[in-house]
Amino acid sequence: MNRIGIVAKYKREKEVREILTDLVAWLRQRGLQPILEQDLAALLGYPDALSREDLPAASDLIVVLGGDGTLLSIARLVKNYGVPILGVNLGRMGFLTEVTLGEMIPALEAIRAGEYRLDRRMMLHAQVFRDDQCLSEHTVLNDVVIHTGALARIISLEVTVNGAYLTTYQADGLIVSTPTGSTAYSLSAGGPIMFPSLFSIILTPICPHTLTNRPIILPVDSTIEATLRGVQRDTFLTLDGQAGLAFLPGDRVRIRKSEYTVPLVRFPDKDYFEVLRTKLKWGER
């Protein structure tokens, strides 16, 4: 891996400038080529820069400094290229960006030595239909969410799995999640935690009117279709919590496993259970 793409989201400009200056110097000293996202390059006055969209095609590895949201935005861009992602946590929770800032350089050394593995995380492919016309298609790493807007109104979602009727949810919404996304919005809505290397799909209703509507784990080859019934118009479809569109009565979303996976860099000395204990404070009083 010689070409190292670098992406960062930051609030404290001075702190990130120092981190990036040290990282770029470290890479250059070892004969590696840093390629910065344009905004970061402008921050440092650095010449080798590309747009975020063009970075995956030019990189052998992408280092993401920030939180899970920053990594999610990159994950959707790398799907066509299979570029490994190293997530370095500058935020708070960080299930995906699990490497700390202090561990970043040792992690890069381990990558150079080949002492790492790749976790290939499944993604979901979503198609949105209106009047039987496909409006848009999306690929996500965490989840597809149908939810109400600012007003707390229950919506009706008729859901089928592989063409068989499942139920009509009367709820604030519905989360369709990957195992990677099981520790995101789905967990907050009462969904199960799934080991992220598994390939399954989770349906988690949001505040269902019928309390017996519980989360359900479906086989990875399932095709889920959810249709908005009734006249509720203040409804939206959100993708990885970052992109969204209006979801009108009669609109239908079809969700299945994507053909793409996201390769995340992992290390032998870190296991997922440690991440859960650390992030969720298990065992603490």
Helices and strands: H and E segment counts in the chain: 7, 17
Q: Is 281 exposed, middle or buried (0-12, 13-18, 19+ CB in 10 A)?
A: exposed
The SS3 assignment for 117 reads strand
Contact assessment for residue 263 and residue 84, using Cβ atoms and an 8 Å cutoff = yes
Which residues carry out catalysis?
68
Question: What is the spatial distance between Cα 76 and Cα 55, in angstroms, rounded to a whole number?
Answer: 12
Measure CA 21 to chain center: 27
Residue 240 one-letter amino acid: D
Tokens, residue 106:
């040792």
Question: What is the spatial distance between Cα 54 and Cα 24, in angstroms, rounded to a whole number?
Answer: 19
If phi > 0 it is left, if psi is from -120 to 50 it is alpha, else beta; for residue 132 that is: left
